[in-house]
Copies of this chain bind each other. A is one copy, B any other.
Amino acid sequence: MSFELTILGSNSALPTSNRYPTAQVLEVPGRCFLIDCGEGTQIQIRRNKISFSKIRHIFISHLHGDHFYGLIGLISTMNLMGIKSDLHIYSPSELKDLIQPQLDYIRGEMTVKPIFHPLNFKKPQQIFEDKNVEVFSFPVKHSIPTSGFLFKEKTKPANIKKDMIKAFNIPIAKIKDIKAGADFLTEDGHTISNNKLTTSPPPPKSYAFCTDTAFHPPIAEIIKGADLLYHEATFLDKMKDLAGKTLHSTTKEAAQMAKLCGAKKLLIGHYSARFKNIEDFEKEARTVFKNTEAARDGNKYTI
C-alpha cells in the first residue's frame, strides 16, 4: 500500500504569482484526503487532475484565511457538479459559523452534505479510522489554535509462509491466529514457534503534516519515525527573530524537527511571499537534515 501526496499550494498568506496558499491531497487506497484548503484550491485540484468526487474528508489545520478561504468555493463547485455525498470537515469548531451563512445562501438543494467535526487542541486524538488508515490530530504551536495531522497506515498482520502451511499441514481455521502471533501445535504435539511460520508485515507508512507552527519539541514524540514529514519553513534562518515573533519556523528549525522525530524524509513549505527562490530554502535545511526537499506546487511524492 502506498500513499501519494500532491502539493496544491506551498505558499503562506500573501499572494504570489506562482505559488498558491496551503493545500495538499493525500491519496491512500480507497481515500482521497484534502489537507487545508487555501484560496484557489479548486483550481489546483483541476490542474492536477484530481477527481472532485473522490474528496470526502477535508482537514483544516487552523482558521487563518490562507488555510480555508478556498473551502466555500470547493463545496459550491462540488454542488454544481451534482456530487451527492457527505463531506467530512475536521476543523476548529468556529469554521462552521464562519461559512454557514454562505452555505445557506447556495440556492437549490445541496447535494453535498458538509459534516463538521471539531478538533481538540488540548491533546492528540484519533479523528478518523477505516480498515487501512488512522488519522490523528495533535496541537502545534501557533498564534491561534492549530492542529497538525498524522496519517498512519494500520499495522498489517504478519504474513504466513506458504511452504510452512504445507510442511505442518496447518488447517485454514488456525491461520488467522497464527497471523496474529500465535504459535502452532502440530498433531503429534510439537510447538512450532510463530517466527518460524511467518514473515513480518511491511512497517506501516505514515505522513505527518505540521503547519503553521513554531519549532515545538513535543510534536516529535507524536510523529516519531514518520516516513514523510511536511513541516513549515516560512522563513530562512536569517529571519529567525521574525519566525519567533509570528510563531512560524525557519528552514533549520523544520530540519531540526525532522531530526528530532527521526523522519525518513522532510518536505518544507509555507514559504513567505517575500522569497522568490525556493532553492535557498532547500539548501539551508539540508545543512541540518540531508534528506530534505522544498515543496513546489504540483509536485507529487510517493510514500
- A: which residues have CB within 8 A of B? 13-17, 20, 39-40, 42-43, 45-47, 63, 65, 69-70, 72-73, 76-77, 80-81, 94, 97-99, 101-102, 105-107, 143-144
Q: What is the CA–CA distance of A278 and B269 in the complex, to the nearest angstrom? A: 36
Separation of A171 and B69 alpha carbons in the complex (Å):
62
Contact of A101 among B13, B43, B81, B97 (CB under 8 A): B97
Contact present for A72 and B73 (CB under 8 Å): no
Complexed CA–CA distance, A70 and B38 (Å): 11
* Contact yes or no, B43 A20, CB < 8 A: yes
**B residues near A14, Cβ cutoff 8 Å:** 77, 80-81
Contact in complex: A43, B40 (CB < 8 Å): yes
A42 & B43 in contact (Cβ 8 Å cutoff):
no
Number of identical protomers: 2
Given contacts A15-B46, A40-B43, A98-B105, list 17 more A-B pairs with CB under 8 A. A14-B77, A14-B81, A15-B42, A15-B43, A15-B77, A16-B43, A17-B46, A20-B43, A39-B42, A63-B105, A65-B76, A65-B102, A65-B106, A69-B73, A99-B102, A101-B101, A107-B144
B residues less than 8 Å from A40 (CB atoms)? 39-40, 43
Asked if A73 contacts B65 (CB within 8 A), the reply is: yes
In this complex, which of A13, A42, A73, A106 has the most chain B Cβ atoms within 10 angstroms of its Cβ?
A: A73
Q: Which residue of B lies closest to A100 (CB)?
A: B101
In the bound assembly, the distance between CA atoms of A98 and B17 in angstroms comes to 28
Q: Which residues of B contact A63 (CB under 8 A)?
A: 105
Chain B residues within 8 Å of A102, by CB: 65, 98-99
Q: Find out whether the CB atom of A43 lies under 8 angstroms from the CB atom of B17.
A: yes
In the A-B complex, list the 8 residue pairs whose CB atoms are closest, starting with the nearest: A17-B47, A39-B73, A65-B76, A40-B40, A69-B73, A15-B42, A15-B46, A15-B43
Whole-angstrom distance from the CB of A52 to the nearest CB of chain B?
9
A62 to chain B, nearest CB (A): 11
